[in-house]
Amino acid sequence: MTTQSLSTSYQETIAAQATAPGRGGVGIIRVSGPEARNVALTILGKVPEVRKAEYLPFLDANKQALDQGIALYFQGPNSFTGEDVLELHGHGGPVILDMLLKEILALGKVRIARPGEFSEQAFLNDKLDLTQAEAIADLINSSSEQAARCALNSLQGDFSKLIHQMVENVIHLRMYVEAAIDFPEEEINFLADEKLVNDLKDIIEEVTQVRQQAQQGSLIREGMRVVIAGRPNAGKSSLLNALSGKESAIVTDIEGTTRDVLSEQIHIDGMPLHIIDTAGLRESSDRVEQIGIERAWQEISQADRVLLMVDSSHEHSLDPKMLWPEFFEKLPENIGLTIIRNKADISGAETGYTDINDHQIVTLSAKTGLGIQELKQHLKDIMGYQGNTEGGFIARRRHITALENAHQHLITGLEQLESYVAGEILAEELRLCQQELDQITGEFTSDDLLGRIFSSFCIGK
């Protein structure tokens, strides 16, 4: 871990195609860094007026026109990256754009950008913090309108603001506690002050709330993994089809139809879900089916939720331990389970949601669609999905982990304070808490982390 205050500006100039590869109406080559000016002088014969679109030929080394396009010039630090930026908006054909990029690289002072490097420059030049840079990638990759709106909220700084607020409060407490330690005669009085305990509890509450919001944000970004498991012919593939609204999986009355894992991404009122259909679980001597069953268990162990599907016209128990003891024993403890009682149309069971002895049960018919709506509602409920993006922001696993760690440091600090009036330990826990929060925005990071984040961006971003 290293603390970063990289105010040093980039020495290198980078270039890449900013628009997606392939044919398009317009294609953009972006150049960022100290050489952007010289590139403009060579390719355009002039440096365009700042932020004013100019229509002019793009020239090769022999002053021959390669394309006739629009150029935009931004003067650092007033640009996306904080460096001088030249944008060449040409005709969007792969050959033309390649020729243009080659011409720029041939000048010898510009190299091709790594994936995410423009955004990395922006981060290193303090144009964006880390959550905002991540939000750009999430905005581009978002698979629903909800996700896009939340990513934009993050990009505009909503998430960062919450983090900064918490950091500020932690710093305030640290100053108080450290002052107390510095005056040993007063220390006990200082630390025994009820206000300190209350302030600490307030911050814990704040972190808890932001963590919940972040969980929503991560759910919106990634989607919950819901695995449908059960015996052959329970109707698992039929349920996948009913939820996805298409005939993704083969449905037959032959047991063991599904042999491999099938996955569909769907949205319920904007909540993204990965629905995973698995091979029916049973003893089998068929090698292919056995592998399918192994894969089913792998999926189950990685699920956010398992839907255990049973045929309600055959199985009457509502208690999974009775219903299927072997399944229940093998199910990892931390994975939530909902029992789906299918084929209500023939069993006559009443459709809808019930919970009995802590077991959550949805009765439905995958064939007729009765009860599907209630299942969707149930899935929203268990994820605490609200469906509005007002103030929502996108979040990643790493943010949640940092918030969890920050929370843990506060809890430990509070315990130490309440049980032992241990000022030194509290001060240390507060310092570690701040460090965790600072990692979220990137005020405190490692090169390793930055590398991992930016390298997952697309090229030209």
Ligand X SMILES: Nc1nc2c(c(=O)[nH]1)N(C=O)[C@@H](CNc1ccc(C(=O)N[C@@H](CCC(=O)O)C(=O)O)cc1)CN2
Ligand Y SMILES: Nc1nc2c(ncn2[C@@H]2O[C@H](COP(=O)(O)OP(=O)(O)OP(=O)(O)O)[C@@H](O)[C@H]2O)c(=O)[nH]1
Give how far the C-alpha of residue 127 lies from the chain's centroid of Cα atoms, to the nearest Å: 21
311 sits near K ion (criterion: CB under 5 A) = no
Position 75 contacts K ion (CB under 5 A): no
Contacts of 370 (CB under 8 A, 6+ apart): 344, 345, 351, 364
Q: Which of 353, 355, 354 is nearest to 376 (CA)?
A: 353
| Complex with ligand Y: residue 192 or 250, whichever CB lies closer | 250
Of residues 81-140, those binding ligand Y (CB under 6 A): none
Map residues 64-103 to x or -, x wherever contact with ligand X holds by CB under 6 A: ----------x---xxx------x----------------
CB of 254 to K ion, least distance (A): 6
Pairing of strands 85-92, 24-32: antiparallel
Distance between CA atoms of 81 and 9, rounded to whole angstroms? 10
In angstroms, what is the minimal distance from the CB of 271 to ligand Y? 24
Angle of the 94-106 helix axis to the 36-44 helix axis, nearest 10: 120
Task: Return the beta strands (E) in 269-327 as ranges.
Answer: 271-277, 305-311
* Residue 13 or 258 having the CB closest to ligand Y: 258
Query: Does 233 count as an annotated binding residue?
Result: yes
257 binds K ion (CB under 5 A): yes
CA atoms within 13 A on the CB side of 68: 1
Residues in the chain, total: 461
CA separation for the pair 73, 348 (Å, rounded): 70
Cβ 430 to ligand Y, closest distance in Å? 53
Tokens encoding 385: 């999905």
x/- string (CB under 6 A) for ligand Y, residues 238-277? Answer: x------------xxx-xxxx-------------------
Q: Shortest approach of ligand X to residue 193 CB, angstroms?
A: 44
Q: Is 237 annotated as a binding residue?
A: yes
* Both tokens assigned to 100: 């243009």
Bridge-based pairing of strands 2-3 and 271-277 is unpaired
Which residue lies nearer to ligand X by CB, 85 or 310?
85
- Nearer Cβ to ligand Y, position 110 or 306? 306
∠ CA 134-8-39, rounded to 5°: 85
Residue 143 binds to K ion (criterion: CB under 5 A): no
Residue from 247, 200, 231 nearest 418 by CA:
200
- Report if residue 305 touches ligand X, rule: CB under 6 A: no
CA distances from 94 to 19, 24, 28, 98, 99 (A): 11, 9, 11, 6, 9
103-162 residues in contact with ligand X (CB under 6 A) are 127
**Closest residue to bound ligand Y by CB:** 280
C-alpha radius of gyration, the chain, whole number: 28
324 contacts ligand X (rule: CB under 6 A): no
Q: How far is the CB of 11 from ligand Y (least distance, A)?
A: 59
Residues of this chain that bind ligand Y (CB under 6 A)? 230, 232-238, 251-253, 255-258, 279-280, 342-343, 345-346, 365-367
Residues of this chain that bind ligand X (CB under 6 A)? 74, 78-80, 87, 127
Residues of this chain that bind K ion (CB under 5 A)? 233, 257
Annotated binding site for GTP: 233-238, 252-258, 277-280, 342-345
